[in-house]
Amino acid sequence: MQHGKYRFIAGFLAAPLALYALFVIWPFVQSIFYSFTDWSGLSPEFQLVGFDNFTKMFSDSVFWKSLQHSLLFVLLLPLGTLSLALFFAFMLNVGGRRRKNAAVSGVRGSAFYKVVYFFPQVLSIAIVALLFQFAYNPNSGALNSGLQAVGLGGFQPDWLGDPDLALWCVFAVLVWCTVGFFVVLFSAGMASIPKDYYEAALLDGANRITTFFKITLPLLWDTVQSGWAYMGILALGAESFAVVQIMTVGPNGGGPDYSTTVLPLYVYQKAFRDGQAAYATTIGVALLVVTLLFVAIVMRMGRRERLEY
């Protein structure tokens, strides 16, 4: 009986695992192999060069600059996004004033606010990047026009043209377009926490801040940990590439003086602009290592005893 059960499970999983190996694992293997070659990507011919691409990468100043920007995103983007999402979700679910029929409730109009926060998720990331590119325009953009309207016309930054500001402008866009998803996710998690916990804590004299750190955050920790890993992968992947590519790419790469270049963009440029596919796969291997290390650290540091309710 047990033998038949395992044979059924193996047969059921064979096709999905084969597809996963073909379309996910095999491209990774190919990328690692091509990182040891001299391949343009435009012909099937290549030549094995050993570790020459890795030696070139470690001496590439643009690679180190893009790695620095990607690490900055992977550290600060989850922190900023998840902190805002937790605050908004807490206010929408248990942060409102006491009412006659409920001691614990969200702010008035919480259902409407959820729709507003989630709205950026409906838009394509390309549309979001274009809209903010117009908003950041130093001559006719909404930001400088707003500053001029309130009497700050002398303060007119070149938002995407200033190497000290461009990366933070991209960072703000990424936070704006991702925070709504986690507001809805955390709201669903908070809605499942029994209100009795909050009411008992309030009766014992706890304030809203105490209930957040002693009740809400511990019971949502698994969701927060998963969100942190997801945001890190997003910061190292297509989301950051798309925003930087659309908003800041100029003749010399991402932003003025490579000030916004991130690893995914640098991989794209080397492969499709410069015709150095083998070197691009080498940078991709480095990106894979950084991503795996980040996820491993998050899972390790976030490990704690599971709380049930």
Q: Report the share of the chain in percent with pLDDT over 70.
A: 91
Tokens of 241: 């590439």
Q: Using pLDDT thresholds of 50, 70 and 90, give the confidence band for residue 278.
A: very high
The confidence score (pLDDT) of residue 96 equals: 61
Contact in structure between 190 and 215 (CB atoms under 8 Å): no
207 conformational bin, left if phi > 0, alpha if psi -120 to 50, beta if neither: beta
Whether 84 shows a pLDDT value over 90: the answer reads yes
Q: Using one digit for the tens of pLDDT, what is the confidence trace for 173-208?
A: 999 999 989 998 898 888 888 888 887 887 777 788
59-301 CATH, one of 1.10.3720.10, 3.90.1150.10, 1.20.1050.10, 3.40.630.30: 1.10.3720.10
User: Mean pLDDT throughout 76-82?
Assistant: 92
Got the DSSP string for 75-119? HHHHHHHHHHHHHHHHHHHT-SPP-SS-SS---TTHHHHHHHHHH
Tokens of 55: 């030696």
The confidence score (pLDDT) of residue 302 equals: 65
User: Mean pLDDT throughout 258-271?
Assistant: 90
Domain coordinates in residue numbering, the chain: 59-301
Sign of CA dihedral 109, 110, 113, 119: negative
Mean pLDDT taken over the chain: 85
The confidence score (pLDDT) of residue 169 equals: 92
Q: How far apart are CA 272 and CA 275, in angstroms?
A: 6
pTM: 0.85
Q: How far apart are CA 160 and CA 152, in angstroms?
A: 19
Closest CA to 228 of 293, 182, 276, 259: 182
Whether 282 shows a pLDDT value over 90: the answer reads yes
